[in-house]
Amino acid sequence: MTGIAPIPVSILTGFLGSGKTTLLNRLLKDPELRDTAVIVNEFGDVGIDHLLVEQSSDGVIELSDGCLCCTVRGELVDTLADLVDRLQTGRITALRRVVVETTGLADPAPVLHSVMGDPVLAHSYSLDGVIVTVDAVNGAATLDEHEEAVKQVAVADRIVLTKMDLVAPDAAPFRALRERLRRINPAAPQLDAAGGDAGSAALFQCGLYDAASKTADVAGWLRDEAYRHHHHHHHHDVNRHDDRISAFTLVEKTPIEPQALEMFIDLLRSSRGPNLLRMKGIVKLSDNPDRPVVIHGVQTIFHPPARLGAWPDDDRRSRLVLITRDLGRDYVERLFAAFVGRPAPDGSDRAAPQDNPLSIPGFRN
């Protein structure tokens, strides 16, 4: 990490009527979120009731406490690039964070791709995390009816339960919803939108780098222990979108050859990219075992790998956390075993493929 630290970007998603705008309005009044830019699809659709000063002609609204709101003009990449340009030219004095609010029907993946996949933006921004709102009253019905809602929950780093005042905490349907969300995404904390546990600190500090300590918070980012204690049970009910989602961790003690890791990721994303909803990992590479590499991907788009200065704790194993759809753990484990040169989980010994025309740049930096 050199030069100016990247600006953290948070994605706020959630199905129609799940309370995104209410949450956004409350957050905008939080003093901790000064110098935050909020990017929305259309002002008319969102209805921000915050104290707005006059709207400027170029689609940017300045809020009275130092926040900015702007609409997506064309591609999200253009809007994000424009914010950086405003910062560099002094048209805005500070930009500490960006929150991108998606439409209720949106798959968050394209938004994540915009932040992670654009080489210019990758220098200016870092993905902090994905926040999803889930309606405590209607959430189960929404998950039943809409596959996109399940995907939103699956890729989230934080799940914010809204309308909690309308349900009894001990009621069976609400307990069932909580357990269902935990099955879909075992690592994401479930927070009460109205309670104190859904403040800005709880929602927004879920990225790899801790702004306060200036170090990598790998444990908080990976949360791989949640996957290790999680066992995904398939109900084989064709009407349940949940059963298409799997969440699991791959662990490897011995150092991995950089080329083997490249080939594993290349083959996985080229053959099953759309099914790879999200992948995070810390990897011990053989070329420098004392300085692990952090990887992060959404479907076929991977963030440039980052070398850490040292291991963050005593756990020096490679750990890859995957959330997949229509992609079983067995397939991924067999592929991984082949490339790291150990027997597959079923005991069959498979040699790693020796050549692969694809390559991810950046692993040998």
* pLDDT for the residue 353: 40
Burial of 158-193, coded b for 16+ CB within 10 Å and e otherwise, reads bbbbbbbeebeeeeeebeebbebbbbbbbbbbbbeb
User: Which residue ranges in the chain fall short of pLDDT 70?
Assistant: 1-4, 41-74, 104-105, 196-199, 209-215, 228-239, 343-365
* pLDDT for the residue 210: 65
* pLDDT for the residue 27: 80
* pLDDT for the residue 365: 40
Residues 6 or more apart whose CB falls under 8 angstroms from that of 126 comprise 6, 7, 8, 9, 207, 208, 209
* pLDDT for the residue 350: 41
* pLDDT for the residue 63: 53
Return the H-helix or E-strand segment holding 47. Answer: none
What structural domains and CATH numbers belong to the chain?
7-207 (3.40.50.300), 241-340 (3.30.1220.10)
- Please give the structure tokens belonging to residue 198: 């859904």
Report the C-alpha gap between 116 and 143 in whole angstroms. Answer: 27
* pLDDT for the residue 57: 45
